């Protein structure tokens, strides 16, 4: 007997594998906030947990109002999802059909390829220069079939970003019927003057959507909440295809509290950027090649897949798990999330031992 057969494009998908953890030691494989989350978020979640029998507000009204007030944007042009991942999936559902093309930069976030595959669309990857998005290479690959362009800025797993003027140049080269998604998952970390999250573009243009998440700077990855801001027509399309109660009540409550805990966000940014500035030169001093990063992780080039695997095994033996990059076509690299000061001290000691042992 044979059961129901999934679509062939679905069977072609390699399921997403999250970062691994050890029973003991440091999990530095998923770009999580090492400081945890805001106490106020936990408080609000605990309070909301008194009424788990109630369905959530399907429109996430209060949270959207709060986001709107925080960023001075129209709450009616915001939609929430179970992580920004879900929003990407919903965009695929609303805009893609078999044969369409999804364009990304070569080492773009893995979820973009899943979105394309689910829809039977084709993923087109534009080559990068020094692991940075190359706007000209992207524009050269736009065709009649291009429907969605995904740009993570900064990008995961490379840690690189492109300037606002480059983002604008990318947009200017796209037809108006092509949806440009500006994924700002790490926007809060970036201090560079020439960086911009693209909120204004999402305000001004009929084909730009900006996404944000509570998973990274707010340290609420476990709750699954992301949001998007953009033109009414795109927000409307996402509402049509989302589940009626796609975001839980406890997540909405906790995220609302986290959103306004500016002190926690500032502390997280200061810790991260301070540790980035400490770790990168220290690793380079030991002889490792480390790419510049404006996010909460570092991409390290070990020169070969074999050496990267050896590093992985060695670090695990020291109780440290980082992320292998095989799924990103960067098998010679590993991605290290910024941890607590204590974790990072252990990381430096372990890398130093690894460098000396070989
Ligand atoms: C972590 C990450 C996200 C956020 O995903 P969530 O579903 O909101 O947890 C989005 N984009 C990129 C590039 C990321 O690295």
Nearest CA to ligand 1 atom 2: 185
pLDDT surpasses 80 at 246: yes
pLDDT tens-digit map of 138-154: 999 999 999 999 999 99
Average pLDDT over residues 103-131: 97
**Pocket flag, ligand 1, residue 215 (CB < 6 Å):** yes
Residue with CA closest to ligand 1 atom 15? 156
Q: What is the mean pLDDT of residues 92-102?
A: 98
Write the pLDDT tens digit of every residue in 83-96: 999 999 999 999 99
**Residue 22 confidence (pLDDT) above 90:** no
Task: Render the burial of 53-76: b for 16+ CB within 10 Å, e for the rest.
Answer: eeebeebbeebbebbbeeeebebe
Top mutation candidate among 81, 111, 182, 220 for ligand 1, by most atoms within 8 Å of CB = 111
Per-residue 3-state assignment (H helix, E strand, C coil) for 189-247: HCCCCCCCCCHHHHHHCCCEEEEEECCCCCCCHHHCCEEEECCHHHHHHHHHHCCCCCC
Place of tokens 């989302």: 242
Task: Please tell me if the CB atom of residue 183 comes closer than 6 angstroms to any atom of ligand 1.
Answer: yes
Right CATH for 39-259 from 3.40.50.970, 3.30.230.10, 2.60.40.10, 3.40.640.10: 3.40.640.10
CA of 186 to the centre of ligand 1 (A): 8
Q: How many CB atoms lie within 10 A of CB 263?
A: 10
- The pLDDT, as a whole number, for residue 24 is 83
What's the pTM?
Answer: 0.97
Q: Is residue 185 within 6 Å of ligand 1 at its C-beta?
A: yes
Q: Domain 18-36+263-357 has what CATH class?
A: alpha beta
If one counts every other C-beta atom within 10 angstroms of the C-beta of residue 281, the result is 11
Q: What is the pLDDT of residue 180?
A: 98
Dihedral sign (CA 298, 302, 306, 311): negative
- Residue 213 CB–ligand 1 contact under 6 Å: yes
Tell whether ligand 1 has an atom less than 6 A from the beta carbon of residue 158: no
Q: 310 C-alpha to center of ligand 1: Å?
A: 28
Query: Which residue CA neighbors atom 6 of ligand 1 most closely?
Result: 83
Residue 20 pLDDT > 90, yes or no? no
Residue 2: predicted pLDDT: 85
What DSSP letter does each residue of 86-102 carry, written as one string? Answer: HHHHHHHHHH--TT-EE
Residue 329: closest CA among 120, 113, 136: 113
- Asked if the model's pLDDT at residue 77 lies above 80, the reply is yes
Q: Does residue 346 line the site of ligand 1, with CB under 6 A? A: no
Mean pLDDT of 215-230: 98
Q: How confident is the model at residue 349 (pLDDT cuts 50, 70, 90)?
A: very high
Mutate to test the pocket of ligand 1, among 79, 90, 183, 297 (most ligand atoms within 8 A of CB): 183
User: What pLDDT was estimated at residue 16?
Assistant: 86
Domain boundaries, the chain: 18-36+263-357, 39-259
Identical fold for domains 18-36+263-357 and 39-259, yes or no, is: no
pLDDT for residue 70: 98
**How sure is the predictor about 1, in pLDDT bands with cuts at 50, 70 and 90?**
low
Residues in the chain: 358
What is the rounded average pLDDT for all residues in the chain? 97
Which residue's entry shows tokens 């990304």?
A: 104
With a pLDDT cut of 90, the percent of the chain lying above it is 95
């Amino acid at each position: 007997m044979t059961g129901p057969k999934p679509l062939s494009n679905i069977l072609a998908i390699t399921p997403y594998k999250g970062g691994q953890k050890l029973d003991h030691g440091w999990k530095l494989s998923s770009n999580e906030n090492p400081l945890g989350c805001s106490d106020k978020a936990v408080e609000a979640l605990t309070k909301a947990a008194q009424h788990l029998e109630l369905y959530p507000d399907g429109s996430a009204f209060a949270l959207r109002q709060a986001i709107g007030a925080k960023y001075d944007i129209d709450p009616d042009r915001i939609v929430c999802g179970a992580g920004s991942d879900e929003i990407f999936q919903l965009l695929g559902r609303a805009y893609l059909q078999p044969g369409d093309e999804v364009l990304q930069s070569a080492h773009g976030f893995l979820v973009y390829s899943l979105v394309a595959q689910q829809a039977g669309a084709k993923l087109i990857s534009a080559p990068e220069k020094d692991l940075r998005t190359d706007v000209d290479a992207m524009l050269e690959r736009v065709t009649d079939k291009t429907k969605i362009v995904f740009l993570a800025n900064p990008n995961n797993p490379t840690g690189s970003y492109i300037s606002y003027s480059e983002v604008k140049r990318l947009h200017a080269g796209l037809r108006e019927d092509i949806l440009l998604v500006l994924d700002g998952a790490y926007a809060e970390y970036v201090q560079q003057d020439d960086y911009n999250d693209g909120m204004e573009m999402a305000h001004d243009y009929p084909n730009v959507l900006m996404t944000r998440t509570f998973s990274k700077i707010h340290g609420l990855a476990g709750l699954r909440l992301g949001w998007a801001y953009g033109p009414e027509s795109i927000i409307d399309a996402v509402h049509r295809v989302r589940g009626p109660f796609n975001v839980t009540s406890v997540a909405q409550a906790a995220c609302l509290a986290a959103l306004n805990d500016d002190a926690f966000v500032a502390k997280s940014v200061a810790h991260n950027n301070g540790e980035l500035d400490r770790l990168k030169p220290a690793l380079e001093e030991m002889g490792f090649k480390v790419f510049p990063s404006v996010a909460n992780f570092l991409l390290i080039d070990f020169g070969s897949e074999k050496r990267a695997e050896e590093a992985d095994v060695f670090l695990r033996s020291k109780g440290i798990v980082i992320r292998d990059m095989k799924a990103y076509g960067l098998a010679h690299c590993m991605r290290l999330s910024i941890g607590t000061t204590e974790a990072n001290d252990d990381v430096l000691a372990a890398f130093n031992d690894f460098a000396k042992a070989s």
